[in-house]
Every structure is written in C-alpha cells, then in structure tokens.
Amino acid sequence: MNAMLLEQDADVSTGPLRTRDIPIPEPGPGQVRVKVHVCGVCRTDLHVVEGELPSVTRPIVPGHEVVGTVEALGAGVRHVKEGDRVGIAWLQATCRTCEFCRTGRENLCSQARFTGYHVHGGYAEYALVSEQFAYPIPPIFSDEEAAPLLCAGIIGYRALRRSHIQPGQRLGLYGFGASAHITIQIARHWGCSVYVCSLREEHRALARQLGAVWVGEAADMPPDMLHSAILFAPAGALVPPALQALEKGGTLALAGIYMTPIPTLDYTRDLFQERTLQSVTANTRQDGLDLLKEAAAIPIRTHTVPFQLEEANLALQQLKAGTIQGAAVLHLS
C-alpha cells in the first residue's frame, strides 16, 4: 500500500516523510482494518516528525485523525462490521485491566498505544485500530469535515471539561489553530463569551468570524477577567499571562502534548486565590463519543484545507508556519 513513512526524525523543512510501498496490515484479534479516505494533520504529528516527542517506533506512518471504511475484521470483533464508516483517533489501545482503565481513565494507562506513534497511522491507504477505539462517524459530517474532530475536536472537548468552564461564563483561548476553532463553537453553543489571544492576524480574523467577543495578540491581557482558559499554543511563556488573566478560582487547562519550558511562576501573582493549572493527557473513549454526539447536534462546522497524501510534508510545513486556517486534511486517491 502507498504510505508516507517517517524513517528518521528531522525538521519538516527537509521533507522527512517519504513515499513508500509497505504491506497492507492484517487485523489481529479484536482489531479492524480501515480503508482510509482522509486523515487530518495534527500538531502532534509535527512533534512526532521533528522528534519533540521521544522516538518509540521507527519507521512509523504518522496520522491519527483518520476517517475511512471498515474493510476487514479480526477474530472476536462483535460491534463493528464491514462497511461501517469509522474514525481512528490518537488513543489506539489500552491494557483494559489497570486502575486507570477500570475507572474510566484509560487515557492514563501506562500500557496505552497511540496511533501514528506506536503503531502505523493514517498517512497511508489502510490502518488498523482496536474495535473499542473505532468511533462511528455521524452521517451529518463529510469525511473531510469529520477528520479534525478526531483529535483537535476531542482534545478541545476534554480541555473544556478540564477547564471547568460553566455555561454563560467567560472563556479564554490562547492560540487559535485546528483545536481552538472547534472548541470556540462548542463554548458558544454553551452560551460562553470567548476571548481569543493568537499570534497571527489571519487566525484572529477566523476567531472574530466564529464569534469571539474580543480578540488580541498572543500575550495580550483580555479586557475582562476570565473564569477559565485553555492554552493550545505549545508555548510555555504564555502560561503566566494566561494565569494572570484568570478570575479568582479560575482554571487554566494546558491542551498540548508538548510545550516549551514554562517560566518560573510567582505564587502570589499567578496561582494564589485558588487558581488552578491543569494538564490534558490524550482522551478517554467516552470523550470521543461525547464529542462526536455534541458536534453533530450543534452542528460543528470545521474549516479545512485539503492536501493530497503525497503533500503531507507540505501540509506539516504550513502547519508549523501557522498559515493554515482551521485544519489540514490529507485525501487518499
């Protein structure tokens, strides 16, 4: 099968993904094989390709915002059938027996395996996934519309929950890429007033278009104190100003899997009066199911930029440069 393969970590400017012909995978027990229609391009892919996340499997096919059709079933599969349209997200499989798995926190499982990181992902014609992590895609969404929901959407949704935002409150979003442009639509559906800080003017323009009540540059202080905030940009330097923008008792959720170093925090200025700093780690199955259900009910409208599979390096380069409005999506012929 045709795949874009990462053989060695490198800056995306060098075009490190190579077109390769690799064997079509066979599903094992409890797995399904998906014929990939599209795959979203996520910032986590960028961290994998450039080695900002520890290298665990090389060579590797990146990609974990996969939409396709189930083509083959492994032994014991009961709840998915051939022909189903499903999505594959970042969390691929867990041990199902540890304390975290038993209590609905499988995102923290020490044996978790991730798509496009431990096992080949969606920058290819076919991909495997455990039956439990094959998400049914609501028919209201086209393949391209659905792809960004499978990581950008799910992580934004989990970050909203971790931020403890309540309907009608003021929410800050720092960075306005693929995840934030979905998150703002959910927050506005909840009646929240959304304040956006972003480095690039074209991203600030999209935030205005999607209903932000105020838009500023990356580290600007919003005109009102925020009940909650989410930091999407992988920039640790933004943590102190984001904390300082919080109302008493407010929470800042860090949505990224990778972040540059966070400067020293001043306890009185940044954290006192019961301000909280929360990280976000992957997602649970329930996060994915809940997000897809709510996204269909709103409905969420993702802004996407299409690329062909062979243009994966270009998509990653534009993602790094910050020039993509919304989310990049690879199409497989």
pLDDT bracket for residue 185 (50, 70, 90) = very high
Structure tokens at 186: 């959910």
Nearest to 197 by CA among 227, 230, 173, 170: 173
Percent of the chain topping pLDDT 70: 100
Residue 43's pLDDT is 95
Please count the helices (runs of H) and the strands (runs of E) in the chain: 9, 17
Task: Please say if the pLDDT value at position 333 is more than 90.
Answer: no
pLDDT attached to residue 73: 98
Structural domains of the chain sorted by starting position, each given as residue range(s) with its CATH number in brackets: 2-151+282-331 (3.90.180.10), 153-279 (3.40.50.720)
- Residue 305's pLDDT is 97
Tell the burial category of 137 from Cβ atoms under 10 Å away from its Cβ (0-12, 13-18, 19+): buried
Read off the amino acid at residue 6.
Answer: L
Mean pLDDT for 174-182 is 96
Q: Which pTM was predicted?
A: 0.95
b/e burial code for range 171-193 (CB count within 10 A of at least 16 → b): bbbbbbbbbbbbbbbbbbebebb
Q: Are 201 and 176 in contact (CB under 8 A)?
A: no
